[in-house]
Structure formats: C-alpha cells, structure tokens
Amino acid sequence: MRRRESAPAVAITALLALCAAVVAFPRLGDRTGPYGEPAGVQSTLVDGGELLGVSVTFFVDHLSAVMLLLAAGVGLLVQIYSVAYLAGDARYRAYTTIIQLFLVAMATVVVADNLWMLLVGWEVMGLCSYLLISHHWELAPARAGAVKAFLLTRIGDLGLLVAIFGIGQTFGTYEISEVLTAMASPGAPDGLTWIGLLIVLAVVGKSAQFPLHTWLADAMPGPTPISALIHAATMVAAGVFLVARLYPVLAASAATMTVLAVLACVTMLLTALFALTSRDLKRVLAWSTVSQLALMFAALAVGGYDAGIDHLLSHGAFKALLFLAAGSVAHAVGSTALSELGGLRTVMPWTFVTATIGFAALAGVVPTVGFFSKDAVIEAAWHGIGHGAPVAPGIAVLVLVVALVTAVVTAVYSFRTWWTTFFVAPGARPVERPTVAGRSYEAPPLMLGPLVVLAATSILLSLAMPLHLLTGLVTTVLVAAAGWWAWQSVVAGRDPADVLGTARPLFDRELAMDVAYDSAGTAARSAGDVVVATDRDILGFYPRGAAWVTVLLSKGFARAQSGNAQTYVTVLAVGVLVIAGLVVVR
C-alpha cells in the first residue's frame, strides 16, 4: 500500500486527538474529592428510562480527560509510525480501520457514564485486540496469541457483566455519576464486597494480572505498533481506569482492596522476574507492562489514587516509546531476539538515544517521569501504613516492600535489555548485518518522529509530577546500586539473570503456568466427557426406555385398529369364548 493512501486514516486519528484535547484540557484541574467525585461535564444523548436503564450518557471529568489525552495522543503517534512500519502491507487498510474502532471503543469506555455503554466499549476493545494481534494470521503464533487473549479476557469480562447487574440492583441506577454521588453520601449500601471482587476479576483479565497474566506476553506476534497501543494507552490501561472510575465502590470494602493489593504484589514481582530472564526484547517489555500495571493497582489499593493515575499516564508515555523503539530495531534487524541483537548503538543513534530515555524512565532514573511517578507509588504505600488506608497496615507494608524489591529488579532487567540491544559484551563481536544499497539501519523519519515526541514527553511530564525527596533518595540509591551490580555482571561476562541460580530455568519457562492451564483444561474436558457419558448412558436410559415401550405399545394398538370388521368380530368372538371358558372353569 502506498503511503498517500494511508493519509486519510492518519487524519481521522489526528482529528480524534484534537477533539480529545479540546474537551480534556479544560477539565484537567476539575476534581473535588480524593476519589474523583462527579465534577465535570455530563451529556445525555439517549435516555433509556427507568425500564431499560440503558442510556447513551457521557461524562468527562479529570480522570477521563487524562485517559482521553493518553489514548488519543499515543494512538495518533502509533498511526503515524505505522505508515512507515507497515508500508507495503497487504492488509494495511483493515489494520487502520480496526485501530480507529479500537480508539473509539477506548474513548467510549473513558467517557461513558452509563455502565452498559461502558461494557459495549469494553467488549469492542477485546474484539479489536483479537483482530490486531492476529493481523499476521498466516503465522501460527499470531493466531494462537489472539485466541488466548480473547478467551482469557472473556473470563474477566464475565465478572464485569455480573458486577453491572449488581450495581443496578444495589444503587437503582446504571449511571456512574449517580453511583459516585450515592457513595459520597453518608451511609454506604450493603453488598459492595462481592461487587468489588467481581470488578477485580474484570480488571485481572483485562490488565493481565495474576493468575490471568499469561495472555499479554503471547500477544507479541502482532505488529509492534499495536503492542505499543495495547500496552501503553488502551486495552490494558482500561483495567486501571475502571478501578479508578469506580474507586469509592471498591474502597468501601477492605476485603476487596486487600485482594487487589495481594494480587498486585504477586503480579508485580513475579512478572518482573519473568522480564529479567526473558530472551526477547518485546517479551521483556510485555512482562514489564504487566509488572507496572500491578504497581498502579497496588497504589490504588493503599489509597494512592493520584499516584496510581500519575503512574498510568507516565507509563503510557515511556512504554509506548519503548515498544516503538523495539519496532525500529525489528524493522532494521528483522528480529527482536536478544541473541540476535547487540552493537546497534552506532548504526541506530536516534533509536539508541530515545530508547535510553525510555529504559531510564522504566528503571526510575531521575529526571525522567518514571522516577517521579514510581516514587509517588512508593510514597503512597509508606503513607498508607499509618494513615487510614483502605487496607490494613500489614498489607500496606507488604506493598511497600514488594514495590521496592520490584524497583530493584526492574532496574536490573532494564539495564540488561538496554545493554544487550545496543552494546556489545566484552570480548564478543557485534552481529554482522549485510548492507542494503548503503542504506542506514536507522528508522525512517515517520518512525523516528513519534520516538522523539515520546522521549521528550517522558522527560517533560516530570514537571507535572510531585517530588518526594526522602523516597526519591532511597529509590535512587537502590536503582544506582542495582545498575552498578548489573554493569559489573556484564563486564565480567555474566548474565545478570543468573543471579536466580537454580531457579532460573523455572523462570525461563515462566513457571510453566500455561502447561498447568492446559492440564486443567484436559481435566475439565475429561470431566465433561464423564458427565456426557453419565447423562447419555445412565440418566438418559430411563426416558429412552419409556419411549421405547410407548412406541411398541402404540404399534400394537395401531395394528389392532385395522378397520377390518371381520377381524373385529373374530377378536370379539374369541374374547367371548375365553371369558366363557374361564367362567366354566371357576
């Protein structure tokens, strides 16, 4: 496909980004309470009334404004980037169309005031992710990854569906603004724990949290720009948005927030270790996304509402940058396997500089935005220990400790991946690459432009982030120590992931959880076969036997009703003789 043919698609996304900015910017400072109580612009296009409860109602406040800017901004940059990245792709028109639908679905989720309208956008995003991950459907990994993502996220979506019914039953409305208003009033209604747990199930599926985390890394066969869109600004971010949007409902139950905090702790550390041992650039970034999302959920669980949202915005910028940088590497080398990379610093200087900023933000290096937003999460955990957090102090301590350990692991795998991609280990040779008509390995301008914009954003956003001096000092020391240790390891010719020792093979296989899921599926199918056999051969025997007897009797009666008068007289005579004989015998 020629580039000029893709211009209308890019124009549509640019218009979406512009409209989002116009609506969002006036609302950025318009919030009244710690949980984002209603304070924005509401508009109802279609009123479903009390009977149906389904209406087309929009509500734009501080939270939705931030999410609109994130989704529309990253979506625009991804579209521009894709013009060059997928130049000549036979299915480019379908690709751009699905992206438009994806962004519209995300915008629907973000601005929907009616929960049923939110569910529509939520489900359309799931469909679009399936189609985009399987863009290269001729490849078996792409098909398998798309099916896996679709099925696992549907498990969580069932939780959201039931939760919506529960909210309507509990509050008498499906409008989010009315639910938040009711929660801000004295006296919270009963039954919020099970509603909150169902919402947690929904976000566990959508944002790939433990134990439904396995689908996100297997979504990597999709085009790299799609990875940037899904991982940074749309689908997985929707889970964090949903928790933030319905935060008062979840925060009213300590049990719900405790479950969210524990799942976040398990997910953030476990997937950080997966990223540490991964041997593929995109897979490292995928597991990193899961880990960082867990950090956001942990912040929300301990009462750090602003910290969680700030890190969501921060992560959207630097993770989109890292995925697009990985796309530039794949575009030049033809692979993202770390074993096939190395020495790209000299042949891809722009990609190297921008990716360095992205990895620094991921590791939490000052002055990138990741330093400030990650410190805000850790500060929220520290503050939650003794200041009336939605969870018990012990849970807040757990979040604090795990977040600090995860920050150290993140710094190590960030350095390991950055070094393996752009430098050459001592004594090793860079991978030899043939020259193509003297062309540089650096990405074309349409791909470099979004990288530069996102790199600048990953630094300039720091100006809008709060500074926590003591926390920043502690994390800086930890990150610096982790980076120095990782440097010493690579200089000595060791892989920093070898620190896991005998446990490394287990993490290389990512705990073989997919094997466990397959075994569980096999067991479920076997159990299903037993149920079917029992129903067919035991329970079904009685109705089938009764039917068989009935058929035989009906056939006998049918033969008796032949319509032949001679036969009737004969039968009657025989019957009379039999009765007479019985009487005589008696």
Domain match, 476 and 571 both: no
pLDDT digits (tens, 9 = 90+) for 303-321: 999 999 999 999 999 999 9
Query: Does residue 353 lie within any of the structural domains?
Result: yes
Domain match, 218 and 317 both: yes
Domain match, 427 and 310 both: yes
Q: What letter would DSSP give residue 25? A: G
Q: What element of type H or E holds 21?
A: helix 7-24
Query: Does residue 185 lie within any of the structural domains?
Result: yes
- Res. 28: pLDDT tops 60: no
Q: Give the residue ranges of DSSP H helices in 172-280.
A: 176-184, 192-206, 214-217, 224-228, 235-245, 247-251, 254-277
Question: Helix, strand or coil for residue 330?
Answer: helix
Last-in-domain residue among 484, 501, 518: 501
Query: Does residue 463 lie within any of the structural domains?
Result: yes
- Res. 559: pLDDT tops 90: no
pLDDT of residue 479: 95
Task: Map tokens 């549907």 to a residue.
Answer: 154
Residue 369: which of 378, 380, 357, 381 has the closest Cα? 357
Q: b/e map of 104-130 (b: 16 or more CB within 10 Å)?
A: bbbbbbbbbbbbbbbbbbbbbbbebbb
Domain with 581 in it: 547-586
pLDDT digits (tens, 9 = 90+) for 403-431: 999 999 999 999 999 999 998 755 455 54
Residue 296: which of 272, 261, 323, 259 has the closest Cα? 261
Tokens at 398, concatenated: 């757990």
Domain match, 204 and 324 both: yes
Domain match, 555 and 491 both: no
Domain match, 459 and 577 both: no
Query: Does residue 113 lie within any of the structural domains?
Result: no
C-alpha distances out from residue 119 to 57, 158, 300, Å? 13, 11, 22
Query: Does residue 14 lie within any of the structural domains?
Result: no
Query: Does residue 105 lie within any of the structural domains?
Result: no
C-alpha distances out from residue 383 to 198, 304, 313, 337, 471, Å? 27, 9, 22, 41, 11
Domain match, 230 and 169 both: yes
Query: Does residue 12 lie within any of the structural domains?
Result: no
Last-in-domain residue among 501, 533, 566: 501
Domain match, 464 and 558 both: no
d(CA 434, CA 42): 58
Tell me what the pLDDT averaged over the chain comes to. 85
| Confidence band of 267 (pLDDT split at 50, 70, 90) | very high
Residue 57 region by backbone torsions, left for phi larger than 0, else alpha for psi between -120 and 50, else beta: beta
Tokens at 359, concatenated: 């990895």
Number of folded domains that form the chain: 2
pLDDT digits (tens, 9 = 90+) for 327-370: 999 988 888 899 888 888 888 999 999 999 999 999 999 999 99
Confirm if 154 and 126 have CB atoms less than 8 A apart: yes
Domain match, 336 and 265 both: yes
Domain match, 187 and 300 both: yes
Query: Does residue 567 lie within any of the structural domains?
Result: yes
d(CA 265, CA 48): 41
